Structure 1
C-alpha cells in the first residue's frame, strides 16, 4: 500500500510511503519479505525447526517466532546477553517470542560473535538437533529474493527509493529490482564500516548510496530530537514510526529535502519496513530516563 504524505515540501518534491508495516500484524514489513522464501525452503527440506539470532528487542526474533507459530515449525532464538535469562518478563519482545513457542538460548556477547562460526553452529546442532539456520537479521540470498518483491510496477514512477538499513538484505533486494533511472538510498541505523561490502555480496554497484549521517549515535540509540520528530510526524500523518530504523530514515530524508539534497520535483518513495513491535520496549526505557515516549 502506497500512501502519499500530506505535507507540503519545497520545489515540487513529493514523498510517498510504502506501508510494508501493514503486511502482517506480527510478521511485519521487511521481516515478512525476508522470511517468505526461507520458510518455503525449510518446508522443502523437511526441517521441523528454525534457529536464528538476535538481540533483546530484535524485530527478526519476534517475526521468526510468529512465523513458527503460524506455519507450524519449532523456533529457537539465540539471544545476545546472558544477563537477560531472568528478565524475559520485563522484555515485551522476548515475552512475545516465548508466547509464540520460541525456545530462547541466552549467550554471552563473546559467544554471540561466533554466530557465523561453523563449530559454534555445530554445537547448537548437538544441543537442539536438526534445524534450518536463518542468519541474524534474516539476511541471505533467499531473504534478498523476497525483498526484491517490495517494488512493483506502479513504483516505477519514483525517482528515488529510500529505506533504512540494518544487515543490508532489504536494500540489496531494492537495488536489484529498482529501475536503472532510479536511485536507491540507504540510511544505516548503526555505526560501523563494512556495510557497503555486505551489500555488494548480494547486489551490484551502481544506482545506490548509503547516507551515514543519521544513525543518531548507533544501533538502538535515540535522542529527544528524534522522539519529537517521530511524534510530530505521527500527529501530522497518522503513520507510526519506530525509533531504531524508520524514524531515522524519515528524519534523514526530510532533513535532506530541506538542505537541498534532492533536485526539483524529485518523487521519493520511502519504504516503511515495520519494526513497530520494538516501541513498547523502547518506551519503557524512555520512561526510566524521564524522556518523552513514542506515540503509536
Structure 2
C-alpha cells in the first residue's frame, strides 16, 4: 500500500459566492476563489508556485530568499519537511542575525530550514551570477536548486496558469494581490476570452508591470492574456498595514465569517471595494477575488 502524498492538494479550490451590499447595490457579484484551502501548510498560490519547482528540483535540496515575514520562506520550509528535502532560506537583513527569531522565521527553523542572514545591499544583488554563487557558498547551499524570491519563475508561472483555467467562464474580472508577479502572470494566461486579471501590488515601487511581462515572455514567449495593475493599495509597502486596513479586514471577517490575511488578501479586498465605489466596474460584472492565504499562525 502506497503512502498518501503529503503535498496532495484540494483542486480545484472552492469558489464561493458572497453577498456584500457594497457590491450588490452597484449590480456587481463577488466571488471568493478559496485558494487558501488547497493545502493546510502550502497555502494558496504557494502550492501552485512551489510544486512545479519541487518537481524540477528532482530531489535536490532547495534554497530560496525572502524577508523576515516571508510567506514564501515558510511554505518552502514546510515543503522541505513534508518531503524530507533540506532547505535553506537566505533572509534579507544582516541586522536580524543574533536576534530572537520572529514567529514566521521560528516556524521556518522548526521545519528544518537553515537560515542565512545577509546584508540588504548584498541581498539586492542576489540575482547577479557572482553574488548568487557567493551567497550559496556562504550558506553552505552549493548544488541546491534555487527558487527565486517569492517563488516567481517560469515553473511557477506555468503552475499558476491552472488557477486561471479553473476560473474560466465563472467571472469577468479576477483580482489577486501581487508580490513578485508570478501568480498574476500565470493567472492571466489561463483565463478565457473576455476575462481580465487585475493585480493589486502589495509593495511600493511600480516595478511589477515590467516584472509580470518579463515572466510571461520567459514562460510563453510573449505577453499573454488581459491584465492590468492598480498600485494604490499597498498601504505603505510589504508587511505594512494601517489602522484603516485593520478595521476593514475585521469588518469583512464579521460580515462573511472569513479570516482575512492582512498583508495580501485584505489589500486586494480593500482595493475591490474602493474600485466598486469609484464605479470602475459596469453593472452586471462578476468579480472573483483570489484568497491566497490565511492569517499567521493558523496558516
Indicate whether the TM-score tops 0.5.
yes
Aligned match for 2:174, one of 150, 161, 176 = 161
Which whole-Å deviations, capped at 9, do the CAs of 1:134-183 have from their partners, x for residues lacking one?
00000000000111111345641311010001100000011100112011
Q: CA RMSD in A?
A: 1.7
Distance, in Å, in 2 between the alignment partners of 1:60 and 1:166 is 10
User: In the alignment, does 2:133 pair up with 1:122?
Assistant: yes
Q: Which residue of 2 aligns with 1:219?
A: 238
Contact preservation (8 Å) 1:17, 1:270: yes
- Does the alignment pair 1:177 with 2:190? yes
* 2:105 alignment partner, SS class: helix
Q: Does 1:41 align with 2:60?
A: no
Decide whether the 8 Å contact of 2:168 with 2:192 is kept in 1: no
Task: Give the alignment partner of residue 100 of structure 1, picking from 82, 107, 111.
Answer: 111
* Number of the residue aligned with 1:268: 287
Structure 1 gap ranges (5+): 281-295
Q: Distance in 2 between matches of 1:167 and 1:207?
A: 18
From 64, 67, 71, the equivalent of 2:83 is 71
CA distance in 2, matches of 1:200, 1:116: 18
Q: Take 2:93 and 2:136, find their aligned partners in 1: how far apart are those partners? A: 20
List alignment gaps of at least 5 residues for structure 2: 1-13, 217-222
- Could you tell me which residue of structure 2 aligns to residue 60 of structure 1? 72
Decide whether the 8 Å contact of 1:59 with 1:275 is kept in 2: no
TM-score (norm 1): 0.89
Q: Which residue of 2 aligns with 1:145?
A: 158
**Equivalents in 2 of 1:154, 1:161: separation in Å?**
8
Question: How big is the shift at 1:274?
Answer: 0.8
Equivalent position to 1:14, from 4, 25, 29: 29
- 2:18 match: 5
